[in-house]
């Protein structure tokens, strides 16, 4: 999702003049269902277009909003980070609330703040975290539509985790890349890859909501959500969804950990699993160096408490 960027997503060159105004950062969440992804497209609504339109309505400025990751059509975000340059006198911390009035309800601005001029949401990022959700149950729930991938047959999560261990570290991940060759490199470093089960949210279950000790018993009895958590220094196009599709084949008993290791070594996309549906994928977190004020969760908490 970070490769093959359009020219308007390139950061200013070190020697080139920066755009006028202050550099404003945003942290936002969105439901990706009604959008054709992040990047402006001629054939449908996008998150980037909605933000740029909101800024123009608020300030009169026509500008480009940069993002930490260009999510695809139908992919969601819990902690996307974006930035733009503005000459508006609106205080940075009030920018988010002011913009929100011009945005659709599917996009929510969680906070806004000023960052140094050289900060770029895409290229200043150190690593990103994605989450993929699978509803692993006999019947789908309508309330989870477009929020996760429904699979009826119970997955062997332990086998999936064992196979995932072989993907940790620095590798050439072209076998999980939809568009290869890319402009730079397919080498990435995966810092964390975990697959585990979680209970379904109790208000969605067709029975009385448990409380007290019953709540603990309920959590162990219902484990129908399978979560895949992955953190890396960068991701190739469709990399997380391709890894998910591959590990699901392990969970179904079709492949083993040795098969996944073979696929990684072969560096051939056709040997890996299918690309998992977009609706189960969430951009969860983007981590930056502490040199960029306010971009880490710790500094963000300090800012809110001050």
pLDDT in tens, 204-242: 777 777 676 555 555 556 799 999 999 999 999 999 999
72 is catalytic: yes
Q: Which of 8, 72, 156, 289 is catalytic?
A: 72
Burial class (CB in 10 A: 0-12, 13-18, 19+), 210: middle
pLDDT tens by residue, 98-115: 999 999 999 999 999 999
Residues in the chain: 306
Determine contact, residues 203/211, Cβ cutoff 8 Å: no
How is residue 180 written in tokens? 């290869």
Average pLDDT, the chain: 88
Counts for the chain of helices (H) and strands (E), in that order: 7, 10
Nearest to 122 by CA among 269, 6, 201, 231: 6
The set of residues, in sequence order, having a beta carbon less than 8 Å from that of 279 and lying 6+ positions away, is 32, 33, 74, 75, 76, 146, 147, 148, 149
How is residue 267 written in tokens? 């560096």
Q: Identify the residue whose tokens are 């971009």.
A: 295
pLDDT-wise least confident of 22-26, 208-212, 267-271: 208-212
Phi, psi (degrees; rounded to nearest 5) at 61: -95, 140
Q: Which domains does the chain have, with CATH numbers?
A: 7-124 (3.30.70.580), 127-283 (3.30.70.660)
Strand-pair partners of 229: 131, 194
Calculate Rg over the CA atoms of the chain: 21
3-class secondary structure, 58: helix
pLDDT of residue 248: 98
How is residue 257 written in tokens? 């950990």
The model carries a pTM of 0.88
- The answer on pLDDT for 73 being more than 90 is yes
CA–CA–CA angle 284, 174, 241 (5° rounding) = 35
d(CA 52, CA 19): 16
Mean per-residue pLDDT for 273-299?
A: 81
Asked whether the bond before 181 is cis by omega within 30 degrees of 0, the reply is yes
Q: Express as a percent the part of the chain with pLDDT over 70.
A: 84
């Amino acid at each position: 999702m970070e490769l093959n960027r359009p020219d308007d997503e390139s950061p200013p060159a070190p020697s080139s003049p920066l755009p006028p105004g202050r550099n404003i950062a945003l942290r936002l969440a969105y439901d990706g269902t009604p959008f054709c992804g992040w990047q402006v497209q001629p054939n449908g609504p996008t998150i980037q277009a909605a933000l740029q339109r909101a800024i123009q309505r608020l300030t009169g400025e026509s500008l480009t909003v940069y993002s930490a990751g260009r999510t695809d059509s139908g992919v969601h975000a819990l902690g996307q980070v974006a930035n733009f340059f503005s000459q508006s006198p609106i205080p940075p911390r009030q920018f988010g609330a002011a913009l929100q009035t011009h945005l659709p309800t599917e996009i929510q601005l969680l906070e806004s703040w000023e960052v140094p001029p050289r900060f770029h949401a895409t290229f200043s990022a150190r690593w990103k975290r994605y989450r993929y959700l699978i509803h692993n149950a006999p019947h789908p729930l309508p309330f989870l539509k477009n929020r996760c991938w429904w699979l009826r047959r119970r997955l062997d999560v332990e086998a999936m985790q064992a196979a995932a261990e072989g993907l940790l570290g620095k590798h050439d991940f072209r076998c999980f890349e939809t568009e290869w060759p890319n402009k730079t490199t397919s080498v990435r470093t995966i810092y964390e890859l975990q697959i585990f089960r979680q209970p379904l949210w109790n208000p969605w279950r067709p029975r009385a909501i448990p409380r007290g000790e019953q709540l603990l018993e309920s959590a162990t009895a219902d484990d129908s959500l399978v979560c895949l958590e992955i953190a890396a220094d960068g991701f190739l196009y469709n990399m997380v969804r391709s890894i998910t599709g591959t590990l699901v084949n392990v969970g179904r008993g079709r492949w083993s950990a040795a098969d996944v290791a073979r696929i990684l070594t072969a560096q051939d996309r056709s040997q890996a699993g299918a690309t998992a549906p977009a609706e189960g994928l969430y951009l969860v977190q983007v981590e930056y160096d502490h040199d960029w004020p306010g971009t880490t969760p710790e500094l963000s908490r300090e800012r809110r408490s001050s």
